[in-house]
Structures are given as structure tokens and as C-alpha cells.
Amino acid sequence: MGDHLVFKIALTLIPSVGAVTAKQLLSYCGSAEAVFRTPRTQLLKIPGIGLQTASAILNFKNFDRAEQEIQFLERSEVRALFYLDADYPNRLKHFQDAPVILYVRGAVNLNPERTLAVVGTRQPSPQGIAICEDIVKSLLPYNPQIISGLAYGIDGVAHKAALDASLSTLAVLGNGLHRIYPAAHTGLAGEIIRQDGALLTEFLSDIGPDRENFPMRNRIVAAMCDALLVVETGKKGGSIITAHLANDYHKDVFAVPGRIKDPKSEGCNTLIKTHKAGLVESGEDIAYFMQWDPPEEKQTGVQGSLFIDLPPNEQQLLELMRQKTDPWSIDQLSYQTQLTGSEIAAALLTLEFNGLVKSLPGKRFIPV
């Protein structure tokens, strides 16, 4: 995996250097290795880098730990994805606090056409389990990747239902890949990998499932989905945190309603009545709201294939968007093109009018 990965991993080991600071250092220094070779005077000129951080960088000696991690990766068939790598998840990449490195075990495509995250209580009712299974399996014609956290309850049900339906599934962990947590889901994790899914984490291999890691895990689940489904949950807990994060990330959030005063449905009902989630009862509801069409029903896009003499901004956007079929947000397009939000909005409006771009819920766009 090379010396360069040693420096990339080492960058994540520096005390007080999180994802945002690490990216700031990389943008000014040019590479992870260069960060450790930059003189103090130059480090202090980087915005946001104070004396404490500069000293932590210059005094860092724990490269052996980075070497040990590389040995674990090779031994365990785990990929390390740097945030500038081509196969780093595009849905996650443009968020400021996206991890600098992700660790992945499994062959899943991290940039699929569609993704749905499913979350809920660790102690679901029989009805909640059945609803979760039915919704996931009914989405087979639309082929979304099912994302969850491998936890007890609804997480595990969603992963199993995806496997049963031959849908791709991704488990995001709140610990390192040296162990599966909860241990009872070791078999499920193995089956996910065998069926071309994957386990993903931002944590080094020796990091355990500590309480503070799970909100960090939840932000990745929220960032990597196009839509988030909450099946059953109380008014507090990880599922509610993930739903609020998804709202903050401008993702579509859906919830299954439940009986009034049922503690397991209280969170879902609250999300619906406060307009934080749309009410859904089936996979078809989700597909309708997301404007998902089964692959065989997709239009050929004849108009999009015709030659149209486009202005430079529209041509630039269209060429960029056609590089992948995933939905694009205005923020992503602005980051990639350096155009302003208003310039992009105006260009997208014209492209949509010409039938070259289609708008989706949540202010996202796809090429036709």
C-alpha cells in the first residue's frame, strides 16, 4: 500500500487534528507527507493552525502505529479510501466533516445510483419488523443500496431484508474492523461481504464501539443516503439524531406512522407531525416521492442526446453531471465547477427546460 498511506493514516493520528483541520493542512501543503515536512513558520501561516496544532504535527512520532494499521489492512483485505480517491463516496465527499480516510471491507460500489438508509429502534415490534422487511423487499425493482448501522433491531432487519431481496447493502460501523459489534451480527456481517456488500468505518482497527463513536457513525449514514427511512423509534436516540442530521444535509426523510401513545412509534409520529419526515407506508410510497422509476421504465433520453449549442456554464454542468448517474446537489456542482450557486441554479433551470436535466426532491438533479 506504500509509504504515502503511512503519512495519510498518521495525519489522522495527530492529536487535535480532525477531518476539517486535516483537509486544511492538505490543501495548503499539497500532500500528507508534506504536512509533516512543513516548517513551523509555514504551518502557522495556514488559517486555523495555531501553535498547539503546529507543535503536535512537528512532534508527532507515532508512525509505527500507522505501519501497524497498514499491516492489518493487508492481512484483513480492507481498503483504505483517501477522500481524494476516485472511489471515495461522492455523496459524502463534499461535506466539510467527511472523514479523511474510510476503511472498507467488501466489494460494494460506494457510488451507486440510488441509496436508502433505514434506521429504527433496537427493540422493534413484530409489526415493525414485518413493515421494514416489506418496504425493503418491495424496493427491489428500483435497486437502491440499503444503508444501515448493523445494530440490533431495525438495522439488522434492514440488512437481512436487503440480502434476501438481492439488494446491495452497506453497514456503517461505530468501531474499527478488528471486531464486529454487536458480536451477534458477526454472521450477518460475513453474509453482507459474501453478497458483494461491505462494512465501512472511519475508525482505526483497534478502536472499540465507544458511546461517542455512534453519533459520528450516524452522520456518515445520513450523508451517504439519498433518502432516510425511520421505521420505529422513541422520541430520543440514535435514529432521531440520524433523521435530524439527514434533514440538515438536505436529504429526504420518511417515517412509518404508528399508533398514538405507542412508545416505539412516538419518534416517527413526532417527525411526521413536525414536518421533519414524510409519511410512508410502503416501498412504492418512497419510490413515488423520490421519483424513482424501475430501470426498464427509464426513458431513453432522445432529447438529451441531440446536439444543442449550450452556453459555457450549461455545457460545463452537463458534461460534469454526465460523468455519473448519481443525483447532484447545487453544493456539489459548485464545489466541482467553482461556479456560484446563482449561476448554477440559472443554468440548471435552462437545462431542465430543454429536457437535459431532471430535478429530484431535496434540490438534487440528474442528467437525462
Q: Are residues 243 and 350 in the same domain?
A: no
Rg (CA), the chain: 22
Give the tens place of pLDDT for each residue, 35-70.
999 999 999 999 999 999 999 999 999 999 999 999
Q: Are residues 281 and 307 in the same domain?
A: no
Q: Answer for the pair 199, 81: CB distance below 8 angstroms, yes or no.
A: no
Residue 140 has what DSSP assignment?
G
Residue 152 has pLDDT above 60, yes or no: yes
Give the tens place of pLDDT for each residue, 201-219.
999 999 999 999 999 999 9
Supply the range of the domain harboring residue 136.
106-290
Q: Are residues 352 and 277 in the same domain?
A: no
| Domain assignment of residue 282, yes or no | yes
How far apart, in whole angstroms, are the C-alpha atoms of residue 12 and residue 19?
8
> Residue 293: its pLDDT value, please?
85
Give the tens place of pLDDT for each residue, 89-107.
999 998 988 999 999 999 9
Q: Which three cell numbers stand for residue 278?
A: 414524510
pLDDT above 70: percentage of residues in the chain? 95
What is the residue-averaged pLDDT of the chain? Answer: 91
- Domain-terminating residue out of 290, 317, 333: 290
Q: Are residues 59 and 113 in the same domain?
A: no
What pairs with residue 117 in β-bridges? 147, 228
For residues 251-260, give the mean pLDDT.
Answer: 95
- Domain-terminating residue out of 290, 317, 344: 290
pLDDT bin (cut points 50, 70, 90) of residue 301 is: very low
Q: Are residues 281 and 308 in the same domain?
A: no
For residues 299-312, give the mean pLDDT.
Answer: 54
Q: Are residues 136 and 275 in the same domain?
A: yes
* Matching residue, cell 450523508: 223
CB proximity list for 94: less than 8 A, separation 6 or greater = 329, 331, 332, 335
Give the tens place of pLDDT for each residue, 101-125.
999 999 999 999 999 999 999 999 9
Domain total for the chain?
A: 3
Q: Answer for the pair 11, 21: CB distance below 8 angstroms, yes or no.
A: no
Q: Are residues 144 and 185 in the same domain?
A: yes
For residues 145-157, give the mean pLDDT.
Answer: 97
Q: Answer for the pair 232, 263: CB distance below 8 angstroms, yes or no.
A: no
Taking the model in full, what pTM does it have? 0.79
248 to each of 90, 104, 252, how far by Cα in Å?
A: 18, 26, 10
Residue 297 has pLDDT above 80, yes or no: no
